[in-house]
Amino acid sequence: MTHAPTRQPVLYLSHGAPPLADDALWTKQLADWATDLGEPTAILVVSAHWEEAPLTLGATTTAPLTYDFWGFPERYYRVTYPAPGAPELAAKVRKLLRSADHPVADDPERGLDHGAYVPLVEMFPEANVPVLQISMPTLDPAALVELGRRLAPLRDEGVLIIGSGFFTHNLSGLDMGRDAAHRPPTWSSEFDDWGDRAIAAQDLDALIDFQRKAPAARLAHPRTEHFAPLFVALGASTDTLHHQRAVIDGYWYGLAKRSWQFD
C-alpha cells in the first residue's frame, strides 16, 4: 500500500559560509533540526547566491557543485554533495509557475551553490534526497512572496521548501579576529530583534516593507539578497504563519543566524 507523502514545513535558514562546517555548535543545530523534520520526498532550495531572471531551474540530474566563493583554503573546494537530481519536482515547478504565466528557464549544468549545499551537508549528509535549486528572478519582497504562494502546493507532496540566506548580512561588519559568538554590533541585534517580533506577529506587510520599517535595515542588509529568500518561505507558508518558531538564534561573528520553521 502506498502512503501519501507527509506535508512538509517551510524553512528559512541562515546558511553561513564554507567555514560553517568548522562550527561545532551550528552544525549540531542543523543536524538536530533535520532529525526533527524527518525525510522529505524532495528538497527545493532558493539561495541568496543565485539571482537570475527569468526564474531558472538548476541541474535536474546530479551535477558538480558550484563553488561560488573565492580565497578560501583548498579543502572547502573538495566538498562534494552528490544528491540525486529532481526532474519530477522540476516538472511540477514548471507546471505551477507556467499556469500563472510565470516564465521559467533551465540551466542543466548549474549545480548547487554553497547557499544550498553547505547546510544540506549538515542536515541530510547521506545526500539521498533529490534536490532542486531555483533562482530568484527578483529581489522584490512582494513578488517573492507571490512566488512562494505558487510553490506552496508542493508541501502537500512531501517537498521541503528552503529559503537560504542570512538574517543579517553585512560582511564589512564581520570581526573574524574575535570569538564567533561575540556580542553583536547594535545594527545586527536591533534588526534581529525587530525581525523576530515581526515574524512572530505575522506582520507580513511590515516585513515586505522592511527597508523602511526595520531599524538599521540598510546596515543589516546593504544589499538584500540574503534576506530575500525569507519572502519565498513566507509566501509558501502564508496559511500557516501562526505555526512558526525560530529554531536557531544567536550570532556568528556579529551576524544574526536566526532561522525559522513554518509548519
Average per-residue pLDDT for the chain: 93
* pLDDT, tens digit (0-9, with 9 covering 90-100), for 105-129: 999 999 999 999 999 999 999 999 9
Note the pLDDT of residue 17. Answer: 81
What is the band of 78 on the pLDDT scale with cuts at 50, 70, 90? very high
pLDDT at residue 1 is higher than 60: no
* pLDDT, tens digit (0-9, with 9 covering 90-100), for 200-256: 999 999 999 999 999 999 999 999 999 999 999 999 998 777 789 999 999 998 999
Note the pLDDT of residue 171. Answer: 85
pTM: 0.95
End-to-end CA distance of the chain: 27
pLDDT at residue 174 is higher than 80: no
* pLDDT, tens digit (0-9, with 9 covering 90-100), for 147-166: 999 999 999 999 999 999 99
* Residue spans per domain, the chain: 10-262
Residue 184 CA from chain centroid, whole number: 22
What is the band of 183 on the pLDDT scale with cuts at 50, 70, 90? confident
Note the pLDDT of residue 233. Answer: 98
Note the pLDDT of residue 20. Answer: 83
What would the grid cell of residue 87 be? 526532474
* pLDDT, tens digit (0-9, with 9 covering 90-100), for 199-215: 999 999 999 999 999 99
Residue 41 CA from chain centroid, whole number: 18
CATH superfamily assigned to domain 10-262: LigB-like (3.40.830.10)
Strands 259-262 and 10-14: antiparallel
Mean pLDDT, residues 120-142 taken together:
97
Name the residue with higher pLDDT: 136 or 61: 136
How many CA atoms, within 13 angstroms, populate the side-chain half-sphere of residue 175? 10
Note the pLDDT of residue 2. Answer: 57
Query: Percent of the chain, pLDDT > 70?
Result: 97
Note the pLDDT of residue 245. Answer: 94
